[in-house]
Chain A
Amino acid sequence: MSHIHIPDGILPLWLWVLGYILIGICFIFGAFYIKKFQKQSKFPLISIMAALMILTMSVPIPFPVPYHINLAVLAGIILGPILSFFAILTSNLLLAFTAHGGITVVGLNTLVITTEAAIGYFIFNFFYKKTDKIFFSAFTATFLALIISTFLAIGIVYAGTHNFSALAHHHCCHNEGHQEKINIHNEKHLESELIEHHEHQDTEEKFNIKRFFALMFMFGFIGWILEASLTGFIVSYIKKVKPDILYKFQKENEK
C-alpha cells in the first residue's frame, strides 16, 4: 500500500529526477557494500526475493477491494536493509515495464519501499530481541513501517502536486503573470482585481492533501493490518520450519 501508485505524467520532472539521483547514490553505496563484504553470493537470494515480491502480488487476499501484498518488510528482515534495496529496485523496475507504478516513479517508489524495509528490519530486530515474540514483532514492525512509508509517499505526492494548477495550466494560472496583471492596473481597478483574484483562487484546481490522505487511509488502514498479519504469519512459519533464515536475530546465548 505504500507504493506511490501515481502513474507517469503526474509528478513534476524535478521530483522524479531527484528520486533517480537519490537511488543512484544509494546504489553506489550498496555496490560498495557488496564489494567490500563480498556479498556477490547473495545475488541469487536478492533475485529470488525480488521475484517473490512480484509473484506474491498474485496471491488472492480475502478482501472486497483488490489488494496485494508486497513483502517489503519480509525482504528487509531476510536480506537486511542494504541488500533489500537491490531486490526492491529490481521488482519496481520490472513492474514499471508492465505499467504498474510508472517508469518515472521507479526512483521514488524504490526510496519509499526501501525505507519501509529498513524501518521494518530495525523495528523487528528491536522487538524480537526484547520480547522474543515472533508474530508480535513481525506484525508491529510491518504495521509501523507501512504507516511511516505511507506518510512518506503522501508527502512526496504532496510535494509534487500541491502546485498542480500551475503545472496543469502554464498559460492561464501562472502567479507571476497574475502579479504582473495586478501591477499594470491602476489603483482604481485594484479592488475589483483583488476580488477577481480571490474568486479565481476559489475555483482554482488544487490538490487536496486531506482528501488524498483520507482515501489513502481508507484503503491503507485495512491493507496495513492485512499485510502486517500476513508478514507475522509468514515469519512465524519460517521460525517454526527453518529458523536458520532468521539467524541474525537470534540472541547471543541462542547462537
Chain B
Amino acid sequence: MKIADLDYYATFGNTFLHKIPAKYKLIDAAIILAAVLYAKNVYSLAIMYFLLITYLVFSGLPRRNFLKASLYPLIFTAIFLFSMENLTYLTAFKVILRVLCISTTFIFLIFTTPYIQIFRALSAILPDIMINILFNTYRSLFIINNTLDNLLTTMRLRGGISIFRPVHSLSTIGNLVGFFVIKSIETSEKMYEGLKLRGYSNKVFFSRD
C-alpha cells in the first residue's frame, strides 16, 4: 500500500482514534510493543490480537485495506518459519501473533495519525537533522509521486513491460527510473531554492494547530 493512500486515511479520516493526540498514540504503541515483546504466553498474545481486531471492527476504519497492510509482514514471517526445524504449532502461533500484534498496532497509528503529527511528536526526542530530513522526505513523496504515476502510465500506453522480453523490459524500467531520478534531483534543487527564499534555515518549525 502506498504511503500516499495511508496518509489520505490519516488526514481525512474522522474516527474517535483520529482525535487522540499523536504523542499519546505513540506512547500507546510503545507500551503495546513492549508488552508483546515481553509476553511469553500464546494466550496473552491471542487476547491482545483479539482486542486489537475488536478495536478495528468498532473503529470505523477501512477494514479491508487495514488488514491488507497489517498482514503484509506474514510473507516474511513465513520465510523465517520455513527455516525452522522441528517447529511446533505453539511456537509458530506465538511468532505469528507477535508479528501481527505489532504490525496491527503500527497500522492503527499510521491509519489514524498524519505523518506530520508523528514528526511533531517525535521532534521532542529526535535530533533536528532527522526531523528536517523526515519532513522534507514526506513533502518530496507527494511532489514526485505524480511524476512517477505519469511515467508509469506513459510506459503502459507505449507497450509497457513483458515477462517474455526481460532485457527490453529491464532497459525500459531502467530508463524510466533514470529519468525519474534526474527529474527528482532537479525538483530537489528547486525545492531548496524555494525553501531558502521563504527563510528556511535548516530547521523545521511546527505550528501548535
CA distance A48 to B40 in the complex (A): 42
Q: List the count of A-B residue pairs having beta carbons below 8 Å apart.
A: 242
Indicate if A247 sits at the interface (CB-CB under 8 A).
no
Indicate if B52 sits at the interface (CB-CB under 8 A).
no
Nearest neighbor of A168 in chain B, beta-carbon distance:
B91
Indicate if A147 sits at the interface (CB-CB under 8 A).
no
Residues in B with CB closer than 8 Å to A98 are 1, 3, 6, 69, 106-107, 110
Interface-lining segment among A113-121, A188-196, A236-244? A236-244
Contact among B72, B79, B86 with A100 in the assembled complex (CB-CB below 8 Å): B72
Query: CB within 8 Å of B: which of A60-107?
Result: 60-64, 69, 71, 74, 78, 86-87, 89-91, 93-94, 96-100, 102-104
Establish whether residues B83 and A212, one from each chain, have CB atoms under 8 Å apart when the complex forms.
yes
Indicate if B198 sits at the interface (CB-CB under 8 A).
no
Nearest neighbor of A34 in chain B, beta-carbon distance:
B129
Establish whether residues B169 and A90, one from each chain, have CB atoms under 8 Å apart when the complex forms.
no
Nearest neighbor of A52 in chain B, beta-carbon distance:
B184
Contact of A168 with B94 at beta-carbon distance under 8 Å, contacts A62-B169, A98-B107 already known: yes
Residues in B with CB closer than 8 Å to A56 are 148, 177, 180
CA distance A60 to B80 in the complex (A): 25
Indicate if A131 sits at the interface (CB-CB under 8 A).
no
Residues in B with CB closer than 8 Å to A40 are 202
- Interface residue ranges, A against B (CB under 8 Å): 5-10, 13, 27, 31, 34, 40-41, 43-48, 50-52, 54-56, 58-64, 69, 71, 74, 78, 86-87, 89-91, 93-94, 96-100, 102-104, 157, 161, 164, 168-171, 202-209, 211-212, 215-216, 226, 229-230, 232-238, 241-242, 245
